[in-house]
A and B are shown apart, each in its own frame.
Chain A
Amino acid sequence: MTHIKRTSLLAGTFVVAALVAGPTWSADPIDLTKDNPNDWLTYHGTYKSHHFSPLNQINAGNIKQLKVAWMHQPGKSTRGLQSMPLVANGTLFYSGSYSRVFALDAATGELKWSYIPKLDDDLVAAQTHSPYNRGIAIGAGKVYVGTVDGRLIALDMATGKLAWDTKLVDSKKLTVGFTGAPLFVKDKVIIGSQGGEWPGRGPIFGVDAETGAKKWEFFTVAGTEESKATWGGDSWRTGGGGGWMPGAYDAKTNTVWWGTGNPAPLYDWAGGDWKTKGPRPGDNLFTTSVIALDPDTGKLKFYHQELPHDAWDFDSSVGEFVMLERGGRDLVVHPNKGGFIFVYDGSNGKVENVWRLVENINFVKDINPKTGELIGRRDLAEGSHKNLCPAIAGGISWNSGTYSPQTGLYYKVGQEWCMDLTVVKTTPILEPMAQLNIGAEFKLTAPEGGKVSGHVSARDPVTGAKKWEIKFNEPPLASLLSTGGNLLFVPDTRGYLRAYDATSGQEIWKANNGIGHNGGIISYQAGGKQYIAVMTGWGSLVGDEYAALFGEPYTSMAKDSGAIVVYSLP
């Protein structure tokens, strides 16, 4: 372990915390319910999921002077660095592949500590959705990271020493574990397991932040007795689901919002008879849903199933929960992988609006914007089908968009591609360990009469009205960032970090980081200076499609490299 630094702020607060009644953990100067403009304390930026930094030292007037301030190259970056770094009080924390965690001085990049967990290598070798890690949580003096072999680990924030290591998922049997970032809420750490095409029940866990004890578990597949009735026969046992990206927290109502994954098999050979026949007859609650949980008990408060009986692998587990206020009402905006954006009443999850982000959608004719009801489902029975849109890679992927409270605009990557497929009857395989249960052979294609492409559009988050759009030949796969300096940052797949005027969409700066981006980007302040920190590295599962679709530079792009690259003004 390297030189240990304790911040004086931490030491001072420890004394104060000891005198004040409250939870028994040691000093915690971090309060995620307050504004912390210099920091980035949780995956989505704040509990409001804006992916916005109010800092404005860097702006359109001076961005041409932006230069690399420092980098950190962790090594072993299989599938690139896919995580969102966090910053608290001048320390930057991030996770790399294999859940390796690093704490660096946020101004200089000098290492404070590192933690390299020992993983079950045999298990990792048998996994597909592995060994990437999408991020960490911080709170109660600790850093939390999940592992692909089913554990949640807590490390002392100041020293990197192990606080606890709790096994939550029998990954040897279920083949999946955790790749998503956890969410710290009050005295709990909440994390959702993988699921989807993996035939398990995709639990979300609430774990005591101090002790690591599991406090509750919510099964995204048939998580309540009544919901078992939405799974024909025993299909709930191998339902898939999962909640593999972090959600958000509404402190006003003490509600955790989370998105759940798709059911398995992905494609249903019963076609239009899915209510009574096929591998999983019924609506399949609570897959492809937005759920609201009580963080203290894990009990379900309310939900909306974005796609009942999802037959296309269009997760609700992707995406941010953008919390905003309009006309005195709290609204929550959530993107679904199928390319629709859902707008919810923040108090009860009722659908307020549904709008299209992408052009090429034919898995449904439409979704009723008042009720969320699917109109004109395209159910695909056993056999061959052409031009299903969007493709399995989705109209959106798991990388986050950004909402700027300054412009009032939501900036989001949309993906335009389709697929041909042959739906086949499959049987879930559980022994000796779970295998993928897809349910079709498929091939990605261009939309009929068009080309595969992507775009970043600036939208009214509630109505979906498009202000402008930037076209990309290849859809960007990294998260976006908007800032108080009225800038929109888009890390693209070719290696360019691009900056745009957030009002007009005019590109005003770019820099080549030398490898594609498929991770997070944040901004923070340290030592009076504003920094932009972006993850580089390539090789996500969606990115794997790019060599076949586009050729170079993806054919030769490294899939074992990545660095965190941090920019500032001179």
Chain B
Amino acid sequence: MGNARLVPIVAPLRPVTLLLAAALASPPAHAQEQSDVNRLFATSCGFCHQQGGRVQGRGPKLMGTEKSDEDITKQIKNGKPPRMPAFGKSFSDDQIKAIVAYIRALK
């Protein structure tokens, strides 16, 4: 079987370190180490929430959403089965807060 038990060797969150790591063939990371929400979108979320969440694609447009912070938080954690996966086990509360802030700031 493949690389199921790879242990990430990424330094604690510091933007410079993250940037350096990315410039080389990046060692894999823990989901909670992805602090840059723009990068998170380009890694995973943008597969469905396209153009950084600004347009409807596979997933709905996030920009200007009328959903409350509480509802957005709940949906990221629990997903919307079967269409949106649940990220509650992968992303920390702080990360989810950052994603909500990102969505609110979308222009």
**A residues in contact (CB < 8 Å) with B:** 78-79, 122, 124-128, 130-131, 169-170, 173-174, 197, 199-201, 203, 217, 219, 232-235, 237-238, 265, 278-281, 420, 422-433, 435-444, 541, 544-545, 547-548, 559-560
28 A-B interface contacts by CB (under 8 A): A79-B82, A125-B86, A126-B79, A126-B86, A128-B85, A130-B82, A170-B4, A174-B4, A201-B2, A278-B25, A422-B52, A426-B26, A426-B39, A426-B42, A427-B18, A427-B43, A430-B30, A431-B28, A432-B30, A432-B31, A433-B89, A438-B43, A443-B54, A444-B50, A544-B48, A544-B57, A544-B58, A548-B56
- Do the beta carbons of B57 and A444 come within 8 Å of each other? yes
Q: Which residues of B contact A547 (CB under 8 A)?
A: 56
- Candidate in B3, B51, B55, B86 with the most chain A CB atoms within 10 angstroms: B3
- Do the beta carbons of B2 and A174 come within 8 Å of each other? yes
- Do the beta carbons of A430 and B8 come within 8 Å of each other? yes
A19 to B82, CA, bound (A): 50
A279 to B26, CA, bound (A): 6
**B residues in contact (CB < 8 Å) with A:** 1-6, 8, 10, 18, 21-31, 33-34, 38-39, 41-44, 46-48, 50-52, 54-59, 78-79, 81-83, 85-87, 89-90
**Minimum CB–CB distance for B81 against chain A, Å:** 5
**Minimum CB–CB distance for B87 against chain A, Å:** 8
- Do the beta carbons of B58 and A429 come within 8 Å of each other? no
A170 to B81, CA, bound (A): 22
- Do the beta carbons of B38 and A424 come within 8 Å of each other? yes
- Do the beta carbons of B29 and A432 come within 8 Å of each other? no
A549 nearest in chain B by CB position: B57
- Do the beta carbons of B79 and A435 come within 8 Å of each other? no
Q: Which residues of A contact B25 (CB under 8 A)?
A: 232-235, 278-281
A127 nearest in chain B by CB position: B85
- Do the beta carbons of B47 and A438 come within 8 Å of each other? yes
Q: Which residues of A contact B23 (CB under 8 A)?
A: 425
A379 to B48, CA, bound (A): 23
- Do the beta carbons of B1 and A548 come within 8 Å of each other? no
- Do the beta carbons of B43 and A436 come within 8 Å of each other? yes
**Minimum CB–CB distance for A298 against chain B, Å:** 14
Q: Check A432/B89 contact, CB under 8 A, given A124-B82, A170-B4, A443-B51.
A: yes
Q: Check A427/B58 contact, CB under 8 A, given A200-B3, A443-B51.
A: no
- Do the beta carbons of B3 and A430 come within 8 Å of each other? yes
A419 nearest in chain B by CB position: B50
**Minimum CB–CB distance for A461 against chain B, Å:** 32
Number of A-B contacts (CB under 8 A): 163
A439 nearest in chain B by CB position: B42
8 additional contacts, CB 8 Å, given A427-B33, A441-B46, A443-B55? A201-B2, A237-B3, A237-B6, A425-B23, A429-B28, A429-B34, A433-B31, A436-B44
B interface, over-half SS: loop
- Do the beta carbons of A234 and B27 come within 8 Å of each other? yes
- Do the beta carbons of B39 and A427 come within 8 Å of each other? yes
Q: Check A126/B39 contact, CB under 8 A, given A541-B58, A547-B56.
A: no
- Do the beta carbons of A430 and B6 come within 8 Å of each other? yes
- Do the beta carbons of B26 and A429 come within 8 Å of each other? no
Q: Which 5 A-B pairs have the closest CB atoms?
A: A424-B42, A233-B25, A544-B58, A201-B2, A431-B30
Q: Which residues of A contact B39 (CB under 8 A)?
A: 424-427
Q: Pick the contact of B29 from A422, A427, A559 — CB < 8 Å?
A: A427
A79 to B57, CA, bound (A): 16
Q: Which residues of B contact A217 (CB under 8 A)?
A: 1
- Do the beta carbons of A431 and B22 come within 8 Å of each other? no
**Minimum CB–CB distance for A445 against chain B, Å:** 10
Q: Check A422/B42 contact, CB under 8 A, given A174-B4, A233-B25, A237-B6.
A: yes
A200 to B6, CA, bound (A): 11
B88 nearest in chain A by CB position: A126
A430 to B6, CA, bound (A): 8
- Do the beta carbons of B57 and A545 come within 8 Å of each other? yes
Q: Which residues of B contact A444 (CB under 8 A)?
A: 50, 57
A566 to B18, CA, bound (A): 56
**Minimum CB–CB distance for A278 against chain B, Å:** 7
Q: Check A169/B1 contact, CB under 8 A, given A429-B29, A430-B6, A439-B42.
A: yes
**Minimum CB–CB distance for A315 against chain B, Å:** 15
A233 to B49, CA, bound (A): 31
Q: Check A435/B90 contact, CB under 8 A, given A125-B79, A126-B85, A442-B46.
A: yes
Q: Which residues of A contact B87 (CB under 8 A)?
A: 126
Q: Which residues of B contact A199 (CB under 8 A)?
A: 28
B43 nearest in chain A by CB position: A426
Q: Which residues of A contact B43 (CB under 8 A)?
A: 265, 426-427, 429, 435-439
Q: Pick the contact of A443 from B8, B27, B50, B79 — CB < 8 Å?
A: B50
**Minimum CB–CB distance for A474 against chain B, Å:** 15
- Do the beta carbons of A219 and B26 come within 8 Å of each other? no
A541 to B41, CA, bound (A): 18
- Do the beta carbons of B3 and A201 come within 8 Å of each other? yes
Q: Pick the contact of B2 from A203, A233, A235, A541 — CB < 8 Å?
A: A203
Q: Pick the contact of B30 from A429, A541, A548 — CB < 8 Å?
A: A429
